[in-house]
Structure 1
Amino acid sequence: MKQEVLAIIPARGGSKGVPRKNIRLLAGKPLIHYALETARKCQALNRVVVSTEDVEIAELVADVGSEVLRRPADLAQDDTPMVPVIQQAVRSLAEDGYQPEIIVVLQPTAPLRRAEHIEDCLELISATEVNSVVSVSLVPAHFHPNWQFILSEGGELQTFSGRDLDGIQTRRQELSMTYTRNGAIYAVRRVAFIECESLLVPPCKPYIMASEDSVNIDTEEDFWIAERYLLQRQNEIETG
């Protein structure tokens, strides 16, 4: 039997790194439109809601025919974690009798995510016994934990891994592959999310995405990089 899948797009109005980034134009469209368009193309999603406290974002979302779920202002602060935001949305919908089997979180800050990425994640969580799936991307070798340093209280260089300085691996080929969350997709079983109060409930499977699909906008530079990729993608479509 097909499982009911809810997608939540969390989109608050404030942002320190890039002011009003969720509605800032990116390659000619407000940033949040990319999440909405991708969700609309994904046939595996039964319902899509945008959680926001912001009037302008709510109006923009409603104008394109998408569903808005009002969020309390105290859940839209700079230091507000993601989990309470999703909890509020899930509780609000449950009060109206809507209780999906799977919850998908799509952050607007990942505009290069595609519908097939979401579908792949849902296929992974549906076809296995895992409680959650999270999208990740490969960490470049020069950012590998074994090659990172911290400063001691005295200002001396120390390895992040705790190894001696002369014990650092110098050959890239000897490094194990490491991954980082790219913010594009979280998929979690609703019951597991409620019980564990986390989007990453073990057993958790990774969904590995290419670096060019994994830009997560947090800075002006990220905006520039994402726009370059989007324009390149549009050009490839137009030229066939």
Structure 2
Amino acid sequence: MHSTQFTVHGSPNILAIIPARGGSKGVPRKNIKKLGSKPLLAYTAEAALASNLISKVILSTEDEEIMQVGKACGLEVPFQRPEDLAKDQSGSLGVVQHAIEFYEERGEYFDAVILLQVTSPFRSKGFIDQAIQKFIQSDVDALVSVLPVPHEYNPHWVFEADKNDNLSIATGERQIIKRRQDLPQAYFRDGSIYITKTKFIKQGSFFGEHLTYIESNPKMYVNIDTMEDWKKAEEMVSKIN
């Protein structure tokens, strides 16, 4: 019976999945649109293939043109993603579950999955392996990459309005924390890396019960969803490369 448990001394079998569907409203065909000298997809492909700790890197897409670009980037494209997993409302969880099922039906098992989104193209050299090492050493169910929330947006300083326009502190506290120095550090997911033990993916969760994090480089942060994001990425690409 295949185990999903591993230790710091083991060599976990890790599947990297790069999801890239054809439909994109904010930036049409963004996954294969040229950013600088190469398709957007190539940035994440190169970072994944440079990892020493990933066992297999695959592209999941329903789009034949993206499949060809992925192969040109050196990615394995073991299947064509079902159309029902490539709609606007389709979530990443179903995409990852589909890939796991594909391999398990063929007798190939992975201890964990790392999801690498094309829309976060810039990652520091070695960052993926640093994340995997922390994931293994921390003995957790999952790890996400994050960036700090600016203190003015800290949840302890954020208010929610009810239907009568009455405000209350988002955390549920009655008294606000007065000093910035006393605020606990808060983080937001930057979209660059998600690592999860396979058994929790199969149970329907990217985060499991015990979740840790790794901080990304804020100078490399962009999450491409709109043309404004794309223009920011174009400004960044010449400085990063």
Structure having the higher helix fraction is 1
Equivalent-residue separation in structure 1 for 2:171 and 2:11 (angstroms): 45
The alpha-carbon deviation at position 94 of structure 1 amounts to: 1.5
Match of 1:65 among 63, 74, 88: 74
Q: CA deviation at 1:154?
A: 4.5
In structure 2, the gaps of 5 or more residues are 1-9
Deviations 1:151-202 (A, max 9, x none): 44355666544567xx5455433322100111111111223322x3211112
- Other structure's SS at 2:117 match: coil
CA contact (8 A) 2:96 2:201 kept: no
Q: Does 1:187 align with 2:207?
A: no
Pair 157,189 (structure 1): closer, same or farther in 2 beyond 3 Å: closer
Structure 1 stretches of 4+ with a deviation exceeding 6 A read none
| Distance in 2 separating the partners of 1:172 and 1:74 | 47
Q: For 1:103-138, what per-residue CA distance to the aligned partner results, in whole angstroms no more than 9, with x for missing partners?
A: 111010111123511101111122232111111111
Cα 1:31/1:163, change in 2 over 3 Å: same
- Deviation (angstroms), 1:71: 0.7
Which residue number in structure 2 is paired with residue 30 of structure 1?
A: 39
Q: Structure 1: how far apart are the matches of 2:125 and 2:49?
A: 8
Residue 185 (structure 2) aligns with = 177
Distance 1:170 1:23, change over 3 A: farther
Length-normalised TM-score, structure 1: 0.87
1:32-51 equivalences in 2 (<5 Å):
32-51=41-60
User: Which deviates more from structure 2 when the two are superposed, residues 47-56 or residues 20-29?
Assistant: 20-29
Aligned identity (percent) is 36
One-letter code aligned to 2:151: A
Question: Deviation digits for residues 78-111 of structure 1, max 9, x if unmatched?
Answer: 1111111100011012122221222111010111
Residue aligning to 2:150? 140
Unaligned residue ranges in structure 1 (runs of 5+): 235-240
Q: CA RMSD in A?
A: 2.1
Residue 52 of structure 1, CA deviation: 0.4
Give the CA deviation at 1:221.
2.1
**Equivalent residue for 1:102, pick from 112, 121, 124:** 112
Match of 2:139 in 1: 129
Q: How many residues align?
A: 231
Does the Cα contact within 8 Å between 1:42 and 1:115 map onto a contact in 2?
no
Counterpart for residue 3 of structure 2: none
Q: For 1:130-169, list aligned pairs within 5 A.
A: 130-154=140-164, 159-161=169-171, 168-169=176-177
SS of residue paired to 2:126? helix
Supply the distance in 2 between the matched residues of 1:157 and 1:100 (Cα, whole angstroms). Answer: 47
In 2, distance between residues paired with 1:202 and 1:117? 24
- How high is the TM-score relative to the length of structure 2? 0.86
